[in-house]
A = this chain, B = another copy of it.
């Protein structure tokens, strides 16, 4: 398919659908609202690759007992600033939501607290959890190790996850700061979407299975496609790109920081040990969340005033003129032409700003879903006789 079509749905309709599907699959009334909320946050903020499209994979995993429907989640270690939370292989969103709330309670007393969510599953949008802290005017942190898709610097084997990290901090008049990033150049799902759209990717996102840089999504996704393992697949590159010319070793290092602070520190799985999301194995992921109680450091209104001033200063500064890139394949490489555009960029953003504006717009006018997402929802709708219309 070379072009995608889109339809819009009211947020509440999609959330109710997810809630009822979860209940039908045996998730408790109390917990069933969380996965939909977390997944739709990604669609709302313009990242459909981590959005409601994932619901299908969860229902499949629940149906195959790869995710525990009736987990007994519990705190297994506790110090003044740390909680180890056992998800008992339950839904990643539910465990992450609960652990983040425990973490914030603890930070009220100790100033800063972190929680490991052990034996958990796919969490969706990493930034959903850090952004929970904004409701309580705290700084929220979230990071997660993920199955291997990224090559180490100077390597070509996918041995590291796209291991995302997120931090959210409240502001006053300005929108909150919401960084939410894979430590690879881009999230894997973005390559998948470019493929579905029939578009090339910029040079530097990934390598083919021989380790050659490429502009073709298919070279990275491999012959087996997105939803199945096996076949010859390429790798994503760490933030900073190939080799050390533009410091790809920094993104590589950041990805390992996530693995160390999650899987290795918690005694869970890490890097090369992790199953792929579409493997028929228990995921065994480790999610780290953290909360900082700003009031323990300085008065909240002063913090917010500085956040506003910092963001205003950035946004009001002089805009760059962009560059257009064209790529030409040559023997054993590429020729890249960078031509400066005539017009400057219209705006300078702060992290999360574009997503938050899109969220506001979509809450009002409906959530925009691509046809490939709608197909997945329709399949769930039929399979479980939900009686919804898409």
Q: List chain A positions with a Cβ less than 8 A from chain B.
A: 77, 79-82, 84, 109-114, 116, 139, 151-157, 159-160, 167, 169, 177, 179, 181, 185-186, 202-205, 207, 211-213, 239-243, 245-247, 249-254, 256-257, 259-261, 263-267, 270-272, 292, 294, 296-298, 302-303, 306-307, 310, 313-314, 317-323, 325, 330, 332-340, 345, 347-351
Q: Could you say how many copies of this chain the assembly holds?
A: 2
Q: Which residues of B contact A239 (CB under 8 A)?
A: 239-240, 247, 250-251
Beta-carbon contact of B264 and A321 below 8 Å: no
Contacting residues, chain B, for A169 (C-beta < 8 A): 260, 264
* Chain B proximity of A299: nearest CB distance (Å): 9
A249 touches B351 (CB 8 A): yes
Given A245-B325, A335-B337, the answer on whether A77 and B296 have CB atoms closer than 8 Å is: yes
Cβ of B167 and Cβ of A317 under 8 Å apart?
Answer: no
Whether B81 contacts A265 by the Cβ 8 Å rule is: no
Q: CB distance A271 to B310 under 8 Å?
A: yes
Q: Contact between A156 and B267 (Cβ–Cβ < 8 Å)? A: no
Residue contact B264 to A111, C-beta cutoff 8 Å: no
Contact, CB under 8 Å: B310 / A240: no
Give the complex CA separation of A116 and B298 in angstroms. 12
| Chain B positions within 8 Å of A155 at CB level | 314, 317-320, 348
**B-side contacts of A340, CB under 8 Å:** 212, 332-333
Q: Judge whether B323 and A185 touch: CB under 8 Å.
A: no
Contact indicator B84/A81 (Cβ below 8 Å): no
Q: A348 touches which one: B152, B240, B335 (CB < 8 A)?
A: B152
A79 to chain B, nearest CB (A): 4
Q: Once the chains bind, are B112 and A256 in contact (CB under 8 Å)? A: no
Top-4 shortest CB links A-B? A81-B81, A79-B111, A80-B80, A179-B253
Contact, CB under 8 Å: A321 / B211: yes
A278 smallest CB distance to B (angstroms): 22
Q: How far is the CA of A314 from the CA of B177 in the complex (A)?
A: 34
Cα–Cα, bound, A362→B20 (Å) = 65
- From A252, which residue of chain B is reached at the shortest CB distance? B351
Q: What are 22 of the A-B contact pairs (CB < 8 Å)? A: A79-B110, A81-B110, A154-B320, A154-B322, A154-B349, A155-B317, A155-B320, A156-B319, A159-B313, A167-B260, A179-B256, A185-B247, A202-B246, A207-B320, A211-B320, A241-B246, A242-B323, A264-B306, A266-B298, A270-B310, A334-B337, A335-B338
B347 touches A154 (CB 8 A): yes
Q: In the complex, what distance in Å separates the CA atom of A80 from the CA atom of B79?
A: 10
Least CB separation from A305: chain B residue: B264
Across-interface contacts of A337 in B (CB, < 8 A)? 330, 333-336
- Docked-complex contact B116 and A297, CB < 8 angstroms: yes
A296 touches B82 (CB 8 A): yes
Kindly report which residue of chain B lies nearest to residue A331, judged by CB atoms: B339
Q: For A347, list chain B residues within 8 Å (CB).
A: 154
A77 — which chain B residues lie within 8 A by C-beta? Answer: 296-297
A297-B177 in contact (CB<8A): no
A303 to B294, CA, bound (A): 32
